[in-house]
Structure 1
């Protein structure tokens, strides 16, 4: 039997709430537990109804959506729901995903885009339920990023971490390589390494991180230099100091 997802709608515009409620009426597992127009109302509704999912406008009377999420997280008597932002502005998008929002819908959004966000929310809720069945200490939240979210040429891009083949350092930036496509982010290699699951991503050089899913082999070139060869034929340099670590990991994979 499908889980009934208790849902709150937070938006200071009546028409926006009405439209979202209408779209959600097509989803049989969604139950609207309440709606509010101010940050205070949403705090109280969340405390009273313990929703699984909260659709949150990015800018509401009292505080913006990011600050509201932080306030919810600081309240000992409130269980944090899954969050889907619904807003006309993209300025809070990067902050939203840093605090583990499920999705960020820019108004006006389509029914198809909403269904995509709901699919992500359902997946997260199912993961939380499975983790809860393992007993105390399993809160269902992975400390590692499943997606990398960033701005590129005026767009907000959502890149699944599993799609990343390797990452290269370029001065004050990192270049994320996805096949023939690359993306340049203003971030450090150390911060990227901390965000990614170490069972999949390994630092092989001070300037390179590889996704082990895409590694074909580690080999020694004619001059004695180590390289990691990816399945697509690309070669990533490996320093001697990192060779022992990845060689051991691949031997036991």
Structure 2
């Protein structure tokens, strides 16, 4: 699968260094290079590259600001070029598959490009889903979120929604529980509850979402809350605020919105 790449950096030598490295890969086509954020936005909209190598610290508009300004459906995969590591979480929200510290190491460059190759099929399949979210905002039919993109150390992992047993709020993040593994995702519970298929997931507390078929028992409590036991034995508290839609879903009825 051929990959179309754009290079964005305000330093000409840095741009040429990346382009020279890319020239060694037969499956990569450099479709454009840009020296600042605004021109990069125009170029990305016009050229629709699969991947961008983009500098974070650029005058006027940073690389992260440029990526954030793009609609999700138009936002390419990104490898960030920087001298710092403290932006990593925000970077991965913006489809960054890796980041390279300057000066760039050849081995790390090749590793980042390989990660982009591995992510490319998933990124392409995710594009219709992003378009569907826009359609939903306009009152049209939409698809439910079926895959999470999460960071595991310095790698990107793809977690199928159907494998997630329950989700727990953790400050500004959400923890996805998959068997004995947990994945951290920067997302609010309210947004997740609107993105997940209500036929499979239900919010049971302001800080908890469960997959319906993972609920094994429900024990009512005196204050009208309930204690759930999942099939793996995990106890989860359900707030009375969410009891009615929870019971409706457990009995196979549509219930209420999340």
Q: TM-score range by the shorter chain?
A: 0.5 to 0.7
TM-fit CA distance, 1:234: 1.0
Structure 2 vs 1, CA of residues 52 and 156 (structure 1 numbering), >3 Å: closer, same or farther?
closer
Return the match for 2:57 from 56, 59, 81.
Answer: 59
TM-fit CA distance, 1:238: 2.1
Q: Normalising to structure 2: TM-score of the pair?
A: 0.64
Structure 2 vs 1, CA of residues 37 and 193 (structure 1 numbering), >3 Å: closer, same or farther?
same
User: In the comparison of the two structures, how many residue pairs are matched?
Assistant: 232
Distance 2:18 2:238 in 1: 54
Mapping of residues 21-36 of structure 1, within 5 Å: 21-23=20-22, 25-26=24-25, 28=27, 30-36=28-34
Distance 2:23 2:96 in 1: 17
- SS in structure 1 of the partner of residue 86 of structure 2: coil
Distance 1:186 1:6 in 2: 28
Residue 9 (structure 1) aligned with residue 4 (structure 2)? no
- 1:175–1:182: 8 Å Cα contact kept in structure 2? no
Distance 2:128 2:113 in 1: 22
Distance 1:24 1:126 in 2: 27
Tell me how large the CA RMSD over aligned residues is.
4.5
- 2:204–2:239: 8 Å Cα contact kept in structure 1? yes
Unaligned 5+ segments in structure 2 are: 254-258
- SS in structure 2 of the partner of residue 26 of structure 1: coil
Return the match for 1:91 from 82, 86, 98.
Answer: 86
Structure 2 vs 1, CA of residues 48 and 184 (structure 1 numbering), >3 Å: closer, same or farther?
closer
TM-fit CA distance, 1:33: 0.6
TM-fit CA distance, 1:160: 5.5
Residue 249 (structure 1) aligned with residue 249 (structure 2)? yes
- 1:8–1:33: 8 Å Cα contact kept in structure 2? yes
- SS in structure 2 of the partner of residue 146 of structure 1: strand
Structure 2 vs 1, CA of residues 17 and 203 (structure 1 numbering), >3 Å: closer, same or farther?
farther
- 2:75–2:95: 8 Å Cα contact kept in structure 1? no
Q: Normalising to structure 1: TM-score of the pair?
A: 0.65
Return the match for 1:192 from 189, 192, 202.
Answer: 189
- SS in structure 2 of the partner of residue 60 of structure 1: coil
Mapping of residues 134-213 of structure 1, within 5 Å: 137=135, 146-147=148-149, 162=161, 165-168=165-168, 176=175, 178=177, 179-180=179-180, 191-196=188-193, 197-199=195-197, 200-212=200-212
Distance 1:182 1:80 in 2: 30
Structure 2 vs 1, CA of residues 81 and 27 (structure 1 numbering), >3 Å: closer, same or farther?
farther
Distance 2:117 2:39 in 1: 23
